């Protein structure tokens, strides 16, 4: 992924592309690593958690700047990867909720995936599939089985403004038929700078 960013930066310097360069974004960022788990915050806005034989990577997709139009609904990219390519996992998008500080609880309304994680030079971070618009967006309908790894885009019918702090709660992820406990993750408003092309 680092090499792709270098290529994008070179393209920005050599070709006069519209909206190409370094941009500052307001975005929801992890408040910290949840207690009791190993993890790291990647480039200021993505969270990589290491669970037993499993990685869970998440990023809120509400980057806003003077060059972008704020998204209407809140979206979250979720990447799940097992330590073994031969194990079956299942994830139920219908058991994901957002809890806001004012007591509001918002359930997921639709999702895209499963797919592979790709570098997307037209967004502020990676995407599921070659472009998120290519994914078939579906309503939650129970557990989704996959092998080894998968990327999901989760959509919530609530304001995407980074001003609102919230907690992401994922209640049903299984590996080899056993529940994997994912701690709730708190997000707050933050700011990041990224090399990128915005069309």
Transcribe 90-146 into DSSP letters. EE-GGGEEEEETTS-EEEEEEEEEEE-EE--TTSSS-EESSSGGGSPEE---S-EEE
pLDDT for the residue 86: 82
CB 199 within 8 A of CB 123: no
Q: What is the mean pLDDT of residues 84-92?
A: 89
| pLDDT single digits (tens) 13-37 | 444 445 566 778 899 999 999 999 9
Question: Residue 113's closest CA among 103, 101, 96?
Answer: 96
Q: What is the mean pLDDT of residues 106-129?
A: 81
Give dist(CA 87, CA 2) in Å, integer: 29
Give dist(CA 177, CA 39) in Å, integer: 24
Q: Name the more confident of 145 and 83.
A: 145
> Token digits for 174?
């299984």
pTM for the whole thing? 0.82
Range of the domain at 24: 2-197
Ramachandran angles phi, psi of 98, nearest 5°: -110, 135
Number of domains in the chain: 1
Give yes or no for residue 52 having a pLDDT over 50: yes
Give yes or no for residue 4 having a pLDDT over 50: no
Give yes or no for residue 12 having a pLDDT over 60: no
- Buried residues in 61-80 as b, exposed as e (16+ CB within 10 A): bbbbbeebeeeeebbbbbbb
Q: What is the mean pLDDT of residues 171-195?
A: 91
Q: Is the peptide bond before 27 cis (omega within 30 degrees of 0)?
A: no
Give dist(CA 140, CA 95) in Å, integer: 9
Question: Residue 79's closest CA among 117, 34, 122?
Answer: 117
| pLDDT single digits (tens) 126-173 | 788 765 556 778 999 899 999 989 999 999 999 999 999 999 999 999
């Amino acid at each position: 992924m680092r090499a792709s960013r270098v290529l994008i930066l070179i393209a920005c310097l050599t070709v006069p592309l519209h909206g190409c360069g370094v941009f500052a974004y307001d975005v929801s960022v992890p408040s910290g690593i949840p207690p009791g788990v190993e993890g790291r915050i990647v480039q200021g806005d993505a969270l990589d958690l290491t669970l037993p034989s499993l990685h869970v990577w998440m990023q809120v997709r509400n980057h806003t700047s003077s060059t972008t139009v704020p998204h209407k609904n809140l979206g979250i990219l979720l990447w799940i990867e097992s330590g073994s390519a031969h194990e079956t996992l299942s994830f139920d998008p219908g058991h994901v909720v957002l809890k806001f500080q004012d007591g509001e609880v918002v359930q997921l309304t639709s999702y895209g995936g499963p797919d592979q994680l790709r570098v997307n030079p037209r967004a502020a971070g990676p995407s599921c599939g070659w472009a998120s618009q290519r994914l078939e967006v579906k309503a939650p309908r129970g557990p989704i089985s996959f092998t080894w790894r998968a990327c999901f885009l989760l959509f919530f019918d609530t304001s995407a403004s980074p001003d609102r702090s919230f907690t992401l709660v994922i209640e049903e992820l299984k590996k080899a038929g056993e529940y994997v406990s994912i701690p709730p993750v708190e997000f707050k408003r933050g700011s990041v700078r990224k090399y990128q092309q915005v069309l």
